Amino acid sequence: MAADSAVVADRVAETFAAEVKGLDLTPEVIDELGRAIFETYLDHKVLVFRAQDISAGTFAKFGTVFGRPEEHHVLKLRHPDEPTLTYLSNQNEPGRNKEMKTSGQGWHSDYSYKLVPGSATMLHGLEIPQAGGDTLFADAESAFAALPEERKAYLRTLRVRHQYRWSPDREDPWARWKYIGPEERRKTPEITHPLVRRHPDTGRETLFIQPRVIGSVIGIEGMPEDESTALIEELIAHITSDRFVYRHKWSPLDVVVWDNRCVLHSATTKDLDEQHVRRLLRLTTAGQPVTPSLPEVGHSRLSATSAP
């Protein structure tokens, strides 16, 4: 698709992810090549642009290539001039709690616990340690394609229950309420998404599942808990097996963008000593309710078992 465009991208993992060569993301280049960059992104699911010495304003403009950039609802997390940008940092930053230093650790797709989950997420590496703090990506679309047809047919019929900060801790099943207050609780009801979704731009099918604790997944709708947990663990192990994973080792000023509609990702910041500073700018674009592979399975909706 992108072969006849001015965007040259080299594959960096077996099934997905590519490094774009010879492009400086100036406002003019973004205007001129935005469409071609977007198509290259649909082809490869994760794009890396090395050594991008760009302003916050230009990074915010880059975000518009991938959809409608979202403004973060927490005002103090926003960049002072660009409301669509926030900082990710492993340092003590004003207005942040300790948990945020390692946010993103564990496999997930951004905002999968919402009725309208995330679309694209992109990061610009401002300060990057010599080693460590890599970001991992897993190609959930190729993982689905690799399954036997009979298995695919079964998985297409299932739905997954999600709720923000769900805790599977048997001793303390309501542990999530320790993290959030009544207003946040009201805004994060239990929802369900189809397990196999159809990408709104490419039409390709993908597994839309995250591990239970990190990904806020409760379980497969209507399935006994032990069976549901075993199935989720099996699928996550398959998606995150080596052949579907790309490990991004950051260099200063890298820009990386990924498609949450078909890949999982994980930070590795828990293993990074805080004396090694890691700061990045982040932007996300608004998504769509999840389209099922089979129409009769239905789109994202409030869970029938959702307590008020």
Ligand X SMILES: O=C(O)CCC(=O)C(=O)O
Determine if 63 is a binding residue for ligand X (CB under 6 A).
Answer: no
**How many angstroms separate the Cα of 174 from the Cα of each of 99, 163, 165, 166?**
19, 12, 10, 8
Please select the residue that binds ligand X; options are 18, 88, 220, 236, rule is CB under 6 A.
88
Q: How far apart (Å, rounded) are the C-alpha atoms in residues 195 and 207? A: 6
In angstroms, give the least distance from the CB of 265 to ligand X: 6
Q: How far apart (Å, rounded) are the C-alpha atoms in residues 274 and 92? A: 9
Q: Exposed e or buried b for every residue in 103-122, given b needs 16+ CB within 10 A?
A: ebebbbbbbbbbbebbbbbb
Do residues 46 and 17 make contact, with C-beta atoms less than 8 angstroms apart?
yes
In angstroms, give the least distance from the CB of 288 to ligand X: 18
Nearer to ligand X, 99 or 296 (CB): 99
Q: Which residues contact 214 (CB under 8 A, 6 or more apart)?
A: 105, 106, 107, 108
Nearer to ligand X, 35 or 68 (CB): 68
Determine if 267 is a binding residue for ligand X (CB under 6 A).
Answer: yes
Determine if 89 is a binding residue for ligand X (CB under 6 A).
Answer: no
Determine if 138 is a binding residue for ligand X (CB under 6 A).
Answer: no
Determine if 259 is a binding residue for ligand X (CB under 6 A).
Answer: no
In angstroms, give the least distance from the CB of 212 to ligand X: 17
Determine if 261 is a binding residue for ligand X (CB under 6 A).
Answer: no
Determine if 104 is a binding residue for Fe ion (CB under 5 A).
Answer: yes
Q: How far apart (Å, rounded) are the C-alpha atoms in residues 222 and 158? A: 9
In angstroms, give the least distance from the CB of 46 to ligand X: 12
Please select the residue that binds ligand X; options are 135, 142, 167, 293, rule is CB under 6 A.
135
In angstroms, give the least distance from the CB of 282 to Fe ion: 9
Q: Which residues contact 189 (CB under 8 A, 6 or more apart)?
A: 163, 302, 303, 306
Q: Which does 119 bind (CB under 5 to 8 A by kind): Fe ion, ligand X, none?
A: none
DSSP letter assigned to residue 70: P
Please select the residue that binds Fe ion; options are 70, 82, 110, 190, rule is CB under 5 A.
110
Determine if 101 is a binding residue for ligand X (CB under 6 A).
Answer: no
Please select the residue that binds ligand X; options are 19, 70, 82, 110, rule is CB under 6 A.
110
In the chain, the amino acid numbered 237 is: A
Q: How far apart (Å, rounded) are the C-alpha atoms in residues 197 and 174? A: 29
Determine if 104 is a binding residue for ligand X (CB under 6 A).
Answer: yes
In angstroms, give the least distance from the CB of 258 to Fe ion: 9
Structure-token match 């069976």, residue found: 227
**20 three-state secondary structure:** strand
Nearer to ligand X, 8 or 214 (CB): 214
Residue 272 has phi, psi (to 5 degrees) of -100, 125
Residue number of the CB closest to ligand X reads 104
**139 three-state secondary structure:** strand
Q: How far apart (Å, rounded) are the C-alpha atoms in residues 208 and 193? A: 8
At 299, list the tokens: 């789109």
Residue number of the CB closest to Fe ion reads 104
Q: Which residues bind ligand X (CB under 6 A)?
A: 88, 104, 110, 121, 123, 135, 265, 267, 269, 282
Binding residues (CB under 5 A) for Fe ion: these are 104, 110
